[in-house]
């Protein structure tokens, strides 16, 4: 979590859901800890930020958006990843690899704010081949 220094606005970065492969079930224990913390401290969630497509974990951003609000953002190159994943994972025809699952697609170097903290920047690492 990133919070503005003298305020209550925040961004949550790469939250996850738990997954038990034996039962094939997800669990929101770690996400619920975030919900509890945000509510206890009185924070206001401006952003839920995904830094990249996660093949190693299940994202908790939709769950947290439902519980806490905020906008889900990711780098605009997620659409490149989605196009590849659509074929690799044989996703349904209705799945559109256009990033519409997110509230905002950040351009490289784009500035945004977290409350009064202005000038936060999303920068795609040079080593990142896609998102």
3-class secondary-structure state, position 117: strand
CA distance 11 to 14: 10
Domains and CATH numbers, the chain: 2-121 (3.60.15.10)
pLDDT surpasses 60 at 131: no
Check: CB of residue 42 under 8 Å from CB of residue 9. no
What per-residue confidence (pLDDT) applies to 56?
A: 64
Q: Among residues 94, 96, 103, 21, which one has the least CA distance to residue 58? A: 21
Residue 10 per-residue DSSP state = E
Query: pLDDT, tens digit, for every residue of 84-129?
Result: 888 888 888 888 889 999 999 999 889 999 999 988 887 766 555 5
Structure tokens given for 6: 């003298």
Average of pLDDT values for 1-22?
92
Query: pLDDT, tens digit, for every residue of 14-62?
Result: 999 988 888 888 899 999 999 999 999 999 999 999 988 876 668 899 9
What per-residue confidence (pLDDT) applies to 121?
A: 83
């Amino acid at each position: 979590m990133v919070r503005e220094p003298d305020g209550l606005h925040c961004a949550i970065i790469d939250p996850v859901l738990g997954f038990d492969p034996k039962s094939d079930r997800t669990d929101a224990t770690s996400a619920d800890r975030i919900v509890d913390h945000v509510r206890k401290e009185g924070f206001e969630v401006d952003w839920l930020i995904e830094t990249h497509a996660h093949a190693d974990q299940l994202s908790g951003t939709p769950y947290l958006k439902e519980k806490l609000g905020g906008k889900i953002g990711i780098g605009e190159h997620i659409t490149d990843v989605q196009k590849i994943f659509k074929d690799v994972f044989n996703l349904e025809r209705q799945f559109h690899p256009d990033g519409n699952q997110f509230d905002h697609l950040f351009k490289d170097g784009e500035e945004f704010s977290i409350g009064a903290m202005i000038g936060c920047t999303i920068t795609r690492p040079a080593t990142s081949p896609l998102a």
